Amino acid sequence: MSVISTVTVKVPATTANLGPGFDCIGAALKLYNEFKFTRHESGLIIQVSGTEAEKVQTDESNLLYQAFLKLYEFIEQTPPSVKIEIKLGVPLARGLGSSATAIVGGLVAGNVLAGSPLSELQVMELAIAMEGHPDNVVPALLGGCRLAATSRTGWEICDITWHRDIFPVVAIPDFELSTSEARRVLPTEVSRGDAIFNTAHFGLLLRGLATNREEWLRAALQDKLHQPYRQALIPGYDAVETAAVAAGAYGMVISGAGPTLLALTDELHTQAVVTAMTNAWKQAGITSVVRSLPLDIQGAVIL
């Protein structure tokens, strides 16, 4: 059997939660990180290029490398020595699943170099265990919009229909918010009223995404499990939301743990929503990059 010496994996950004779907739903977006692994003999080398390259660790603590090691630990083999080339397109610690790209990229690349001993399902389970929640890693691996729920034996993954006329707009500010910090502000228990609120709104969101029924989408993008506690970590949140809705968005939510904000709109209003969110944040003293990003449907791809 010939030994595979190099593999390149491209992994999409993801937007998790979509408002009321805390820790269980996420969608892949057309914005990517690319990871090339090459076997070589003389110890670990990590080279990083692209957006905010200087912020990524280039030693053994690198998350991508940690995921690669995890794969070999799981299959009980000694990992090969590798050179890793990282091309960053997904900004770090902004709520667009950069950590999920690293976890998925490291596991998928490791699996290929090892001769593909694990199934996609096994890779997915390892990725969920590493990240601690499924809503980024699942769409990063599989693409599209995905709901993950535990079953008696593991995970059930459900492909969520996303109507083609619903357009995501992401507003990415120039400051970071680590997911661990944004999880620390959350309460460990919630009231029955808040649980009922989210159950109803999440159901409405799923139907709204499938049908593009405007009044359902407008009502659905509300949450009581995480957003009320996190909004204070994102200066200008209310102003950007008001501007996005006034410009024609159905609503606005925090992308993942933030600080990126996600608006959903239709094609006609996309440009107005982009401009409104950019200006509202500018007036609050925050520079941002605001873009309409279509859904990615492929997930992680081996190039």
Ligand X SMILES: N[C@@H](CCOP(=O)(O)O)C(=O)O
Ligand Y SMILES: Nc1ncnc2c1ncn2[C@@H]1O[C@H](COP(=O)(O)OP(=O)(O)O)[C@@H](O)[C@H]1O
Write out the two tokens for 54: 């200087």
Q: Distance between CA atoms of 269 and 252, rounded to whole angstroms?
A: 14
- Under the criterion CB under 6 A, does residue 95 sit at the interface with ligand X? yes
Interaction residues for ligand X, span 136-155 (CB under 6 A):
136
64 binds, among ligand X, ligand Y, none (CB under 5 to 8 A by kind): ligand Y
133 binds, among ligand Y, ligand X, none (CB under 5 to 8 A by kind): ligand X
Segment interacting with ligand Y, rule: CB under 6 A, options 71-79, 98-106, 199-207, 242-250 = 98-106
Residue number, 80 or 256, with CB nearest to ligand X: 256
User: How many Å apart are CA 15 and CA 299, to the nearest integer?
Assistant: 13
Q: Where are the beta strands (DSSP E) in 22-174?
A: 25-39, 45-50, 82-88, 145-150, 155-159, 167-173
Other beta carbons within 10 angstroms of residue 28's beta carbon come to 31
SS3 275: helix
Q: Which helix (H) or strand (E) holds 124?
A: helix 120-131
In the stretch 173-202, what mask flags binding to ligand X with x, by CB under 6 A? ------x--xx-------------------
168: left (phi over 0), alpha (psi -120 to 50) or beta: beta
Nearer to ligand X, 25 or 274 (CB): 25
222 binds ligand Y per the rule CB under 6 A: no
Provide the pairing of β-strand 82-88 with 25-39.
antiparallel
Q: Which of 256, 262, 274, 286 binds ligand X (CB under 6 A)?
A: 256
**The binder of ligand X chosen from 7, 9, 11, 16 (CB under 6 A):** 16
> Which of residues 20, 80, 95, 143 is near ligand Y by CB under 6 A?
95
Residues forming contacts to ligand X in the complex (CB under 6 A) are: 16-17, 22-23, 95-97, 99, 133, 135-136, 179, 182-183, 226, 256-257
